[in-house]
Chain A
Amino acid sequence: MWYYVFMAVRLAEGKEITRILHDLADQVEKKLGLANLAIIGIKRRGAILAKRLQTILEKKAGQPIFLGYLDITLYRDDFSALGSHPVVSETEILFNLEKKKILLVDDVLFTGRTIRAALDAIIDFGRPSYIRLLVLIDRNHREFPIQPDFVGRRVKTTKKQMVEVHLQEIDGAEEVLLIEPKP
């Protein structure tokens, strides 16, 4: 990595993430209802959060809830700015989006560019009734007029700081880190 980490603050860890997800699931149930709801997670960590939310919400609903995964690499707007392309992984949306209420899930909301790309990608699959955005962490510095509907934690950051979400399935740990890069 090009930066040297001299300070990392733990914003959340262990069971806390699970607790936040349960809170968020309650809010989703109250505000959107569970009928016709489908969850789409943005790869990679948004996909894992989406899977966990599905498990929680299916228990509440007592019936299956559709789940899809989105890889937004092909919809990025910084395509030519990248030295070489990131590895593309598969988009898996195997259900019909027509008349569905879509809950779009990601780990961190920052500039809003990922969400912009995800909205484009979803619309290429069909016309849902509406799309709502759920994020675990909302930090400032938006570059697009995009705001979340459900937020786990709001964090004030400087633009240079980085927020990293680590999840058991990928990283072997459960934590949210605020990382200070050396200029």
Chain B
Amino acid sequence: MTWKRKDLLGLEELSSEEISLILQTAKSFKEVSTRQIKKVPALRGRTVVNLFFEPSTRTKTSFELAAKRLSADVLSFEVSTSSVSKGETIVDTARNIEAMKVDCFIVRHSVSGAPWLIARSVKAAVINAGDGCHEHPTQALLDLFTVQERFGHLKGLSVAIIGDIRHSRVARSNIWGFSKMGVRVIVCGPPPLVPLGIEEMGCEVTYRLEEAIRQADIIYLLRLQKERQRENYLPSLQEYSRLFGLEERHYQGMNKPFFLMHPGPMNRGVEIRSCLAEKSNSLILEQVTNGIAVRMAVLYLTMGSQR
């Protein structure tokens, strides 16, 4: 199996073999970050551009570190100071930067599909770092990697994704990713935040937190965006927290242990009681560590296949 794609845009279009190849490559890259000299020369002379049209700290930092550990040069493009605010289209922006001979764009945009538009217009590799409510493929890949590393396999496990499914690109990419790799996916949230017909993506739906937790090996909490209350999706944050927030009592009377995951940033006291994030079953910081290895793998594979 070799990598044939120029871009990594979403998990919907990937086969399970392609996902496995990324995870396998990431496994080899994880070792690099444990060395005293955390750098290999694989992408020396390549230029990677972070094209973030939406604020992000974690994902941008993670991509930047991943590129630097492969010896690529990284340029971070600040949207607030850019010509986009002067009325330039995103395609023109990307083509102008590409004219300076860059090899890869990491794109985040609040509009679903924006990375596809850019990928069609440039020869450089394009990696989707989150588009609207659509996909966030590297997040889902690092989640798959973390689960696989912990359990030694993926097939046959169950994951419950809990929270605002409607607006979550992390949820969508994870539903594609986990179900393609043979993991049972249960989504759970307040009915206004669970889109009708989401079962067609290959998951099950429940509106009761206890029921989701009972069936799952992994509890995946999504961040609740507080502005959703203003948009009338929720009566109140307190109600959400009471019905869908993970609490100490969920740990009692469980017939099997579960692992806890969260894509960050966490709203302590809303989707999770503060003390639970540090419990021994929490994989949250491992997810962050593994994000570097997975993004190194993605950069390595996409930049290698294009020439």
Contacts and interface: CB of A to CB of B under 8 A. Distances in A.
Interface of A: 71, 73-75, 79-80, 82, 84-85, 87-92, 120-121, 124-126
Contacts of A85: 2-3, 300-301, 304-305
Contact of A88 (B4, B39, B300, B307): B300
B37 A80 contact: no
Given A74-B42, A120-B41, A124-B37, A88 B2 contact: no
B31 A91 contact: yes
26 contacts: A74-B32, A74-B40, A74-B41, A75-B40, A75-B41, A79-B42, A79-B304, A80-B307, A82-B304, A84-B2, A84-B305, A85-B3, A85-B300, A87-B21, A87-B24, A88-B25, A88-B28, A88-B300, A89-B28, A90-B28, A90-B31, A120-B41, A124-B35, A124-B40, A125-B37, A126-B36
B27 interface: yes
B3 A84 contact: yes
User: Ordered nearest first, which 8 A-B pairs have the shortest CB separation?
Assistant: A85-B304, A74-B42, A74-B40, A88-B28, A84-B2, A124-B37, A84-B305, A90-B28
Given A71-B28, A89-B28, A90-B28, A84 B40 contact: no
Chain A residues touching B, majority SS: loop
Contacts, number: 51
B29 interface: yes
Contacts of A75: 40-42
Contacts of A125: 35-37
B298 to A, nearest CB: 12
A84 B41 contact: no
Nearest to B38: A124
A125 B39 CA distance: 10
A84 B5 CA distance: 10
